[in-house]
Each structure stands twice: as C-alpha cells, then as structure tokens.
Amino acid sequence: MARKRRKPMAEINVVPYIDVMMVLLVIFMISTPLLTQGVKVDLPQADETESLDPKSSGTVIVKVDPQGQLYLSIGLGKENLVNREELVEQIKNKLLDKPSLSVLVAGDKEVRYIFIMDALALLSKAGIPNVGLMTKSLDEVVSQ
C-alpha cells in the first residue's frame, strides 16, 4: 500500500495575527488619551496679535529667569520673587477678585523649556483660564 505524499502547504494562516493586531489596536486606543498631558495656552501669532500694555492695572505677569526662579508682578506693582506654592496661592487669590483673569508668562530667551512648562502647569493648577506668552515683535528683535 503506497502512501500519497502530501504537498507542503504554502499558505499562512493569518487569523491569529489579525486577533493579535485587534487586541493591540484596542490597547493603544485606550491608553493613548491617558498618556497625553498638556496645558491650554493661547500662543500669540505674528500677524494677528494685538499689543497689550503690560503696565496696565489688571495685568498679571509671571517672569521666569534662566535659573528657573519665578517673579510675579500684579498690575503696576513691582516684581516679587516667589516660590512655586506662593505663586499658586497669590494667583488663586487674584482669581477670586477677577474670575476672567489673564496671565502673561515672560521668559528670558536663555530659559530652559522645562521652566516655562513648569510655570504654565502651576498657572493651570491655580485655575487660570487664559494664559498668554509674552513675545517681542520681529521688528523689535531685528532692530536690536
């Protein structure tokens, strides 16, 4: 009795691979929104920005120096060196007086990005709805 020799099967069964890919897709779809963190910031645009008077009485400015120290000036007052907790507390108190408070963040061009992000995160923690970044116009930069 002679046995028939079977030809090797040249097809790949892809059904298990599809199952694995579906599981990975679901995992990534669920985990991706949990990984993103951010602070809402209204970045000024070069063509459409209006100049704000930083010396007006209602302006709150948070300055960050190259060492990461924070300075707070409220309205026409002088800049005061504050630590992180004091910044949050003072901004919360000012926010109670003026719920639509806008804050400007000014950073030296030598400041590391992490210090600016830390200041923005502290303002978000304090509940500030509007944060702007202070900039110089291109004309001011070129003329220097």
Which domain, by its residues, includes 70? 60-143
Indicate whether 4 belongs to any domain. no
What confidence tens digit (pLDDT) does each residue in 118-138 have? 999 998 888 887 788 887 654
Percent of the chain topping pLDDT 70: 76
Cα 59 to Cα 1, 64, 81, 116, 132: the distances in Å are 99, 16, 17, 19, 11
132: which residues sit within 8 A by CB, 6+ positions away? Answer: 41, 42, 44, 52, 102, 103, 104, 105
Indicate whether 11 belongs to any domain. no
Indicate whether 121 belongs to any domain. yes
- Residue 77 carries which DSSP code? S
Specify the number of domains making up the chain: 1
User: Taking Cα atoms as reference points, which of 40, 60, 35 lies closest to residue 120?
Assistant: 40
Indicate whether 45 belongs to any domain. no
What confidence tens digit (pLDDT) does each residue in 64-111 have? 888 888 998 877 777 888 998 998 898 888 888 887 778 888 887 788
pTM to 2 decimal places: 0.57
